[in-house]
Structure formats: structure tokens, C-alpha cells
Structure 1
Amino acid sequence: MIKTKLALFLLALLVVSCTSSRPVVRTTSKPKVTTKKQPVSQTKTKTTTAKKPVVTTSSTKSESTESKQKIDSEVTLVATSNIKTYAEEIQIYVDNFKEIAQNNMRAHGIPASITLAQGILESGAGKGKLALSANNHFGIKCHKEWTGESVKHDDDSAQECFRKYEHPSESYRDHSLFLTSRPRYSSLFKLDKGDYESWAKGLKAAGYATDVKYPEKLIGLIERFELYKYDNEVLSRDFKPVKKEVIVAQGGDYYTIQQGDTLYSLSKRFNLTVDDLKKLNNMSDNAISIGQQIKIK
């Protein structure tokens, strides 16, 4: 009887000890797994997301700087081309065609500065449709005497006939022949070959362009990009335009455009926006010319 009771007691003790050990195994193993892994994954996520704003901020600043530099060098050309181009593009154009313009000056007497300025203005520095499709840099139409190739292009009327050339140099030569062969331009050839201001005004007076600002645009391009230097080389002289003094009138309400000025640079100088300047001066485009007076108040 005593042996039976002792056996039952030992059996009960064994059951209790087995039952109490199982929860200990569960609670110690599971917390170790979760507490170690979760903080590590959270730390990695925070580190990854922290890097993104740094990259975004630096690229935004870079793009903003580049954009401002490009705007500051912008020259808007509004004539037959109606093309927006930039100072560096115009300089490349000048480098490509300056010798051709000088050769035409020697042969036909038209200032190289005028020819280059007209080419820049009329062709959008070579980016206009006629320049690209027909090598026509001066917008010369077919007229009755033209027997060469042609292209159709909308101008004063729809699908007008314009001359097409194999090479831009032919367009430059034809421009010179166009001016020398028409009586209405004969007065130009009585002018000093280096007097680009009189030539620019004479072209407008003879009816070359209907744009009232045409002379100012030509003069502005010639002085801004120093195209008169190519006249100097042909004429063997060292002419430099007199720098126009800043004219301040009506209590400082007006400013006279100087070489290198753009609407963007002036807007920063006088604490205005480009749109403010255009509204003050009833301007439809960004074209400005050296010597031009604009309202700043």
C-alpha cells in the first residue's frame, strides 16, 4: 500500500515538472527572435530614405543655375525667323559665316557686319525652317527672274515660293546680288562701308523689312557681338563704337540699353520681373537693342 502511494506521488511530481517546463521554452525563444530582428530592419529603412532628399536637393539647385545662365544669355530674334536662340549659338553662326560675309563685302560693297546681322536675324542663326530646308538665310523669295530650285513656305501669304540653294554660301552671294541689282537700294552704296548704323536704317527706309524695330535689332546684334570688327579687317581700320552713356530721365524712370544687357539681367538689376519690364514698355517680345531707352518704373 505504501509502495503504491509512493509510486503515485512520484508520477504526479513528474507530470507537474514536465508541464511547467514547456512555457519556459516558448517565452525565451520567441522574444529573442523578434526583438533582435525588428530594430535592425527599421534602422536600415531610415538610412535608405534619408539619402533621397540629399540627391534631389542638389540636382534641383544645379538645374536652377543652368536655367538662369541660359536665360541670361538668351537673345530673342523676331523677324522672318521668329526663332528663339542663344548667345553661344549666334557666336557659332558668326564663326561659320564671317569669312563668307567678308568676301561678299570685298566683291559687292555691303558691310560684313550688316550681312551677318541680317543672316542671324532672318534665319534665327541658321535654325529657321528656310535655312534648314533650303539653305536660304535671308528669306529671299523666288521673284520672276529665279530659275533655280524652290520651296513653299507660309509668309505674307500661304505657301509662297522661296529660293532654294545647295549651300548657304550661295544664299549669301544671292543676298549681295539682290541688294546691288535693285534700284531702291542704290542709295545704300553711297554710304561709308563701315557705317553700319546708316546701312541698317537705310535698309528699313528702302523697304527691306516692315518691322519698325528692324534697324535697332541689326545695330544691337552688330554691337553686342562686335560684328563691326569684320568690317575693320576688310577696311584695314580700327573703328570702335562710342559707348553710349546711360541716360536717366524723369527722375530715373528710364534706362538706356548697354552692350551685354538682356531683359533678364535688367529685371534682376532693377528688382522687377521680365514680364513687368515688357508691360511697362509695351513689348511683345524680349528683343532689345543697344541705345534703346526703356522704362524701369
Structure 2
Amino acid sequence: MRPIFDVTTHIPNNTIIMTKYLFGCLLLLFGGSVFASAIPSELIFTVDQERYIKRYKEIAIREMERSGVPASIKLAQGILESDSGKSSLARSANNHFGIKCGSGWQGEEYYKKDDDYDDNGQLIKSCFRQYRNPDASYVAHSEFLRDPAKSFRYGFLFRLEPTDYKAWAKGLRQAGYATNPRYPELLISLIERYNLNQYDTPGAVDPVDVEVPTNEMITGILRANDVSYFVSEAPISVAEVAKQVDLSARRLLDYNEGLSKDDQQIPPGDRVYLQKKRNSYRGKEVYHTVEVGETLYDIAQRYGLKLDKLAKRNRLQETDNPATGVKVKLRGSKIKDAPRLEGTPDPDAIINEIPTDTDGRIIIDEPTDETNTGTTTTTPTGNRPVVVPRPTTPNPTTGNPSTNPPSTPYPSGTGYPPTTTTPSTGTGTTVNPPVVQPPVNVPPTNPTNPQPEYHTVSAGETLYAISRKYGLTVDRLKQINQLTNNNISIGQQLKIK
């Protein structure tokens, strides 16, 4: 850029000295604004540029990982194109890269004079894209360079080494991105002055930790499994998302299996992926344990996975829903056996086989042979028969114990054991009196202290479905039944009160 004027041209020496003195006074008086206007703003080491880098380095890194555009190049271009975020276009339209509307733009517009002329050669206002926030502008810049329709111009850039910022800077000038012949020099100067190339290695810089309340929804452009997605805090249509992130609605429909049309409403908090999801998970987890009410699609969205690939890896159909508590494989080879589906019985569940009558009371088998020494019954702990021996008394003739006859209950109020006289048969054989079991005291029903109510688990039921049926939360249902996980079995009795 040429200086505004040359103060030493055709001026005598004494005048030059006086002129320098006067300009020195002007510099003190106006804070250097006269000379600052004559120096390229992109070459001034300013606090504004440092603030700009600190503010936008995270989105630049995320976009580099998503799209392949080096973070150093994106930050340097943002500084140049937006005057470190101070230009009218950046402040009024959140447009940091001077991207014009074009024929396919359907979002908000912002008009300002730039380089468009009418038929009479008069400068007219140009149409620029207006974004909801600057981050959307960063995404749009990536998509502008990656647009298949422009691959003949910018396609070769993505075959360069992502850490070769010099080749990228020169390549942008070669592709016609900027007309200024010094454009590569300006980008490289900014990158090296602020060491922006340190951001060109994924994971080299840890993102800033931000404390978010657990009850607060995180919105905006986020990432999962190295894939960017968008979350809105309010219901929003596919078309509206497309405008905000500067992607076509068609691409969003391609990237998200749960979306089918432009005007489809997306609930708050739902993820809308901005690029193709991965075939497998890149994190540490190999398996995911299915939570209550969770579908296979929910799992695919949570981990940034293609639904068809996730289903195939687990030998499932895309519409199948695995049962609560089973494990779904996120990466690696196919599993040997498909996981159990929701609504199918668990073969490993412990089934209650205790015999009960129509009132739900345990049945105790009566002996079939009076000479048996015990009665066989079952107990709740395990399913093995337990022998309960009958009391015996010694025979006064033989000295051997004799077996009592089957016990019969005594009327209420009778002491135990009863005091009786041993009758004699006249043959020397003593007949023992019947042995009485103590009566079972059943507490009377107290209307102020109602008895607990139960629900019997049927095939296909989950804790979530049962809790909804009785107006409880899953945690409350688990608490009153002392459950440590979500596994329940057919026939299991769950306390609901």
C-alpha cells in the first residue's frame, strides 16, 4: 500500500526539519492516527489480532479436523478478511470471510458496496451472506472451499500436506481466491508472527475447559467421534438449520437417517450432523450398554455412527431395538450372536419356580406316606427340596422313637405344646398325641397403613414402561425394590407402593 503522501518531496532541507517537527507534534496530538492510516492494518502487531485468535482458534481447529482446511490458514484469512472481527460485514452480518450470496443462497442477506458495478459502470451494493453467529461463518468458509462445483479451482489444495501452510497460502492465490499479489505473503506473515501453525496438528492444543451446569443444554456446533453436529435450544426445521450452518438441506438429509424432508421439525437438543457419520467409533469404548428406552438409532446418534453400519456390526436390522442392559458393539468386527431384542425373554434370567396357589401363597406338599420321616417342601432360597423332620417320642416298650401322626392345628388360644394324657391301646403301645404347629399370626389390615402392592413382570416389559404405568420414576422403582441395575425377569414381583 502506498503512503498517503510523501512529506519530503521537493522541500528544502530546513523545511524538511520543520515538517518532521510538526509531524512529531501531530503524532503526539492524534495518537499516531495519521501514520496508522498509512500503514497496512494486517502488518500491525495489535491486541485485536491476539484477541481474535484466542476467540476463534477452537472453531478453526474443529473445522480443520472436519474439513481439512488448516487452522492457521483459516485464522489468518479471518484476520485479513474481517479486520480482526472489526469490519462492518463481520459486526453486522457475522460474515468473517466476505462470502457473497450467490444464486443458491436462501438465508439472510446483507448489502454493502464492494466490487460490483451496474451497466453504467457505477459501483453498487453487493449481496453478502448473513449468519446467525461467527462460527457458522467458519463452517461456511470450509464448505465454500470444499464445494464440488468449485473442485476444479480449489480441489488441489486438499491434496497438499495439511501442515504446509506456505503451500496453502500460495495455492489460494493461484486458485484465484484473492486478487492481491501479496496475499500469500500476508497470510504467511500472520501465521509466523502469531505461531498459528501450532494449531495445525489435531489434538496439539487442548480446548478450553468450560463448566456447563448439568441441567443446561449445550447448543451450537459440537463434535462427536470427529464429526461436527448442530444442536438447537428450540424447535427448528431442517431448512432453518441448513441456513444457519450454510449447508444445503439435501446434505443434512443425507447425513442424518432420522430426517426425511426440509420442513421436518427437530426437537430441542436433538443432534443434526453436518457431515457424514463414521463407520465405527474412534473413542476408547468398544461396547455400549443399552439404557432404558434407548433405540439403536439413539446409539448411532450418540456416537456419531452410521445406523446401517452399527446394525450390521451387531447383526441387527436398522429398525431393531436391543433390549435394556445388553451390549452393542461400536467398533471392530461383527459380533458372533445378535443381542437380545426388547420384548424377548432373557434366557439367563432367574425364573421364580416356587409353587403358589391362586392366592399367591406358597404350596407345601403334604406327605403321601404316613411312615415317612419328613415332609418335602420348597423354599424361596434355591429350588432344592428341604426335609422338615417331625418330632418323635420314645416308645416305652421298645425304647425306639415312633413317628407322630400328621399334625393338625389347635384352636386359637391353645398353648403350645399342649398338655395331654397319653392314652393306652391296651397292647403296650403308646399312642402319641398330635404335634401342633404354632398358629401363624396375620396382622389385621390397617387402613391407615395399606399393604404394599405389586406388579408382575410380563414378557417385553421394561422398568421404564412399568414406571410410566404407575406414575413413578425409574430410579424410584429401583429404589423401593432395591434393584442395582435395570435387569428384570418375566414373573418377577415388583413393589409399586
Normalising by structure 2, what TM-score?
0.32
Match of 1:166 in 2: 132
Equivalent of residue 86 in structure 2, options 127, 135, 160: 127
Contact residue 198 and residue 204 of structure 2 kept, 8 A: no
Residue in structure 2 matching 1:208, options 174, 177, 183: 177
**Cα pair 1:75 1:87 within 8 Å, conserved:** no
Counterpart CA distance in 2 for 1:86 and 1:128 is 17
Structure with greater helix percent:
1
Equivalent position amino acid for 2:137 in 1: S
- Given candidates 59, 65, 70, the residue that maps to 1:100 is 59
Aligned to 2:41: 77
Q: Distance in 2 between matches of 1:194 and 1:213?
A: 21
Within a 5 Å distance, the mapping from 1:23-172 to structure 2 comes to 64=28, 67=31, 76-77=40-41, 87-157=46-116, 158-172=124-138
Structure 1 runs not aligned, ≥5 long? 1-59, 79-83, 238-297
Aligned CA RMSD, in angstroms, stands at: 2.8
- AA aligned opposite 2:61: Q
Offset of residue 64 of structure 1: 4.8
Instruction: Please say if residues 160 and 168 of structure 2, whose CA atoms lie closer than 8 Å, have aligned partners that are also in contact.
Output: yes
Q: CA-to-partner distance for each residue in 1:156-199, whole Å, 9 max, x for gaps? A: 12211100001000000000000011211000000000100000
Paired residue secondary structure (2:184): helix
Within 1, Cα distance between the matches of 2:51 and 2:132?
21
* Cα deviations by residue, 1:191-220 (Å, 9 ceiling, x for unpaired): 000100000000000000001100000000
Amino acid at match of 1:132: R
Cα distance in 2 for partners of 1:123, 1:168 equals 11
Cα shift readout 1:65-100 (whole Å, capped 9, x = no counterpart): 9957xx89x97336xxxxx96511100000000000
**For residue 76 of structure 1, what is the amino acid of its counterpart?**
P
Paired residues for 1:162-241 under 5 Å? 162-181=128-147, 182-183=150-151, 184-232=153-201, 234=202, 236=204
CA distance in 1, matches of 2:59, 2:204: 17
Contact in 2 for aligned 1:75/1:86 (Cα 8 Å): no
Structure 1 residue 236 displacement after superposition: 4.8
Return the letter of the residue paired with 2:89. L
User: How many residues are matched?
Assistant: 169
State the shift of 1:153 in Å. 1.1
One-letter amino acid matched to 1:188:
L
User: Is the 2:93–2:110 contact (alpha carbons within 8 Å) kept by the matching residues of 1?
Assistant: yes
What amino acid sits opposite 1:148 in the alignment? G
- Deviation, 1:235, is 6.5
What is the identity percentage for the equivalent residue pairs of Structure 1 and Structure 2?
A: 46
Change (3 A) 1:231 1:162: same
SS of the aligned residue for 1:161 comes to strand
1:135–1:168: 8 Å Cα contact kept in structure 2? yes
- CA displacement 1:114-153 (0-9 Å, x = unmatched): 0000000000000111001100000000011111001111
Displaced runs of 4 or more, over 6 A: none
Per the alignment, do residues 175 and 66 of structure 1 end up closer, same or farther by CA in structure 2, a change over 3 Å counting?
same
1:32-89 deviation per Cα after TM superposition (whole angstroms, max 9, x unaligned): xxxxxxxxxxxxxxxxxxxxxxxxxxxx99x959957xx89x97336xxxxx965111
Distance 1:64 1:188 in 2: 47
Match in the other structure for 1:295: none
Within 1, Cα distance between the matches of 2:168 and 2:203? 16
Q: Is the 8 A contact 1:102 1:231 kept in 2?
A: yes
Structure 2 Cα separation of the partners of residues 75 and 99 of structure 1 = 30
| Distance (Å, rounded) in 2 between the aligned partners of 1:111 and 1:64 | 41
Task: Compare CA radii of gyration and give the structure with the larger one.
Answer: 2
Residues 164/64 of structure 1: CA separation in 2 closer, same or farther (3 Å cut):
same
Question: Structure 1 residues 64, 171: CA separation in 2 closer, same or farther (over 3 Å shift)?
Answer: same
Q: Aligned equivalents of 1:154 and 1:65: distance in 2?
A: 33
Partner SS, residue 176 of structure 2? coil
Q: How many Å separate the matches in 2 of 1:193 and 1:201?
A: 13
Task: Give the 3 Å change call, closer, same or farther, for CA 235–191 of structure 1 in structure 2.
Answer: farther
Which residue of the partner structure matches residue 269 of structure 2?
A: none
Q: Secondary structure at the match of 1:140?
A: coil
Q: Which amino acid aligns with 1:176?
A: S
Letter of the 1:133 counterpart: S
Distance in 2 between residues matched to 1:67 and 1:227, nearest whole Å: 30
SS of residue in 2 equivalent to 1:154:
strand
> Per the alignment, do residues 66 and 154 of structure 1 end up closer, same or farther by CA in structure 2, a change over 3 Å counting?
closer
The whole-number CA distance in structure 1 between the counterparts of 2:29 and 2:49 is: 21
**What is the DSSP-based 3-state SS (H/G/I as helix, E as strand, rest coil) of the residue aligned with 2:99?**
coil
Per the alignment, in what secondary structure is the counterpart of residue 155 of structure 1?
Answer: strand
The 1-side partners of 2:171 and 2:177 are apart by 9
- Give, in whole Å, the separation in 1 of the partners of 2:78 and 2:41: 11
